[in-house]
Amino acid sequence: MNLALRLAEVGRLFPDHEALVFHDQRIPYATLNYWVNRFANGLKKLGLAPGERVLISLENCPEFVVSFYSVIGARGVAVPIDPLYTIHEVAVIARDASPALVICNSANISIFTELARKLPIPRGFIVTDAAKTIPNAYSYEELLVSSPADDPARPRERDDVAEILYTPGNTGKPKGVMLTYGNLYSNAFTFARLCGFTPQDRTLLVAPAYHSAAQTCVLHASLVAGATVVIHEKWPGARAVLQTIQDEKITFFFGPPTMYVLLLEEPQAENFDLSSWKIAFCGGAHLPVQVFHAFEKKFGLQITEGYGLTETSPVVCCNPVVGVKKPGSVGPPIPGVEVKIVDYEDQPLPAGQVGEIVVRGPNVMKGYFNQEEETQKVLRNGWLHTGDLGYMDEDGYVFIVGRKKNVIIRGGLNIDPREVEEVLYQHPQVFDAVVVGVPDPVMGEEVTALVMPRGHERLDPAELQAFCAQRLAPYKVPRKIQCIEGLPKTTSGKLLRKEVKRMLEHMQENTPS
């Protein structure tokens, strides 16, 4: 079984049941499956061959769902990316993935047509909104209606790569995580069972579906169970989310801690009927214990925290949906997945001792695309080495205490500081730069930069932010840029990132409010 086959099965079992709700569209499973079949056959008509990569650059919408399931149904490899990426960010991924086809909308098609002047995209572009005629691009609607609706002979090989998700690395270059049909289905199926999803459940997709957490925990897990997915393109504001939970009788909501903080701050929350809401699931970043308790007090619902990473499809651990939750813990490993805490020699550590978290199970990636050396570094002795530090208590609950990697997590989205630093270095007035995440009560971490000017140049932080905004997605742009005379380094020139964080925190403490 895999996601594509399961969708076809659910389409036969519950043809009239709502699969997707988007604005005024209510799409039953039979229609969704019909569209997926047609679009998959359309992709084949364009010449898409098994194993060829397809970039999907769309916000949350039915077209994203149809595109994803059609690509894997046609034996292609889906490569979802942030639709707000600049051409500089897209180019790095495109050079690595070598996509045969791009699915996008009229808002970002110009990025891909410009990119195609330097990189071949042999199957061309599909544009989902045909508001205007775009040269050398196919219309999503026209391809859909002109293709046959018969079964596109969905794939059955468990170990074939279905998706590549790009995640921040430690070198400034993102790594393409290869997830197989078996990885995706096993994780979605297990998570759906843990949550007790049935066709009567209604889930809310607000977090971005191009990100592994929302994709598996909301979209795939819901469709595997025959539940209904209510879709927002993006975060619409706390009040709008609560309105949707009330109006659509939502039973399951997923979001990073930032979204729960924003819901807590909504002054009109008590005016909504949230009686349908059964599960509030949190992942993507550490949930502060005080947020857990404040949310339970205000909404009468305990947040269920879990842990995962893109390389594990992504869920590794999960507090019990029904049962004992331990605030501050991400819960025990999910069924079928093993977790160990090991020292620097890969030796298991006893309960309570901090070490690196390593994972083994059907959810673990096949490897990094085009990066065999990086793959061998993390897949050792049959275990995935996560780079995260934690401990396990006597009951088997895992606690995360830090990261070996320097990744910044802002609002549940991962940011590689090296990528932001490389952009700052491109500015002619910047001599040296360092980017770190500093604690933020709403976003979890906020992107902050310290820069050294070249010579006696004067640097304007606002101008540097505008420079970054032309080259980075909005959430990666430093919210604060501080000009300094020197960066803390060892005598060998190695940057002391912990010292940088202490400097920034000291600056914040001494800044008048």
**Whole-angstrom distance, CA of residue 505 vs CA of residue 485:** 17
249-278 residue pLDDT tens: 999 999 999 999 999 999 999 999 999 999
CATH of the domain at 441: 3.30.300.30
Instruction: Please tell me the predicted confidence (pLDDT) of residue 95.
Output: 97
In this prediction, residue 173 carries a pLDDT of: 82
- Taking each helix axis from N to C end, the angle separating 3-13 and 181-195, rounded to the nearest 10 degrees, works out to 50
CATH number of the CATH domain containing 110? 3.40.50.980
Q: Which pTM does this prediction carry? A: 0.90
C-alpha 440/C-alpha 137 separation (Å) is: 43
Residue 131 pLDDT grade (very low, low, confident, very high; cuts 50, 70, 90): low
**SS3 of 373, please?**
helix
Q: Cα–Cα distance between 491 and 495 in angstroms, integer?
A: 10
Residue carrying the six token digits 């191009």: 210
Asked whether residue 497 is assigned to any structural domain, the reply reads yes
Torsion over CA: 166, 168, 172, 176 (sign)? negative
The rounded Cα 350 to chain-centroid distance in angstroms is 32
Domain count of the chain? 2
Read off the pLDDT of residues 310-332 as tens digits, 9 standing for 90 and up: 999 999 999 999 888 999 999 99
Q: At what angle do helices 29-45 and 62-73 cross, to 10 degrees?
A: 60
> Does 48 map to a domain?
yes
Count CB neighbours of 267 within 10 A.
8
Q: CA–CA distance from 399 to each of 89, 330, 340, 357 (Å)? A: 33, 6, 12, 10
Interval 37-96: pLDDT, tens: 999 999 999 999 999 999 999 999 999 999 999 999 999 999 999 999 999 999 999 999
Q: Which residue has the tokens 């604060």?
A: 480
Is residue 413 a contact partner of residue 284, using CB atoms and an 8 Å limit? yes
Boundary of a domain, candidates 133, 156, 179: 156
Find out whether the peptide bond into 314 is cis, omega within 30 degrees of 0.
yes
CA–CA gap between residue 450 and residue 471 (Å, rounded): 18
- Let me know if residue 30 belongs to a domain: yes
CA–CA separation, 309 and 324 (whole Å): 23
Distance of alpha carbon 159 from alpha carbon 426, whole angstroms: 41
Q: Domain boundary residue among 139, 156, 173?
A: 156
Residue 382 included in any domain = no
Rounded CA-CA distance 190/485 in Å is: 52
C-alpha to C-alpha distance for 30 and 7, rounded to whole angstroms: 10
Given a contact cutoff of 8 angstroms between Cβ atoms, the answer to whether 86 and 473 are in contact is yes
Residue 370: the pLDDT is: 96
Q: Show Cβ contacts of residue 8 under 8 Å, excluding neighbours closer than 6 positions.
A: 33, 151, 154
Residue 453 lies in a domain: yes
Q: Which domain holds residue 412?
A: 408-509
The residue among 156, 186, 220 that closes a domain is 156
pLDDT (0 to 100) of residue 170? 65
Residue 212 falls inside a structural domain: no
The residues, any chain, with a CB within 8 Å of residue 345's CB and separated by 6 or more, are: none
Q: Which two tokens stand for residue 280?
A: 């509030």
In the block, tokens 């709700």 appear at: 21
Tokens of 257: 């801690």
pLDDT at 129: 87
Position 300 pLDDT exceeds 60 = yes
Does residue 147 have a pLDDT over 80? Answer: yes
Asked, for residue 290, whether it belongs to a domain, the answer is no
Do 461 and 481 contact (CB within 8 A), yes or no?
Answer: yes
Contact 304, 325 (CB under 8 A): yes
Q: Tens of pLDDT along 453-504?
A: 987 778 899 999 999 999 999 999 999 998 888 777 655 565 666 777 777 7
Query: Is 322 part of any domain?
Result: no
So what's the pLDDT on residue 488? 77
**Beta strands of 284-429 (E only): which ranges?**
303-308, 315-318, 338-342, 355-360, 367-368, 379-380, 383-392, 398-403, 408-410, 413-415
CB 57 within 8 A of CB 142: no
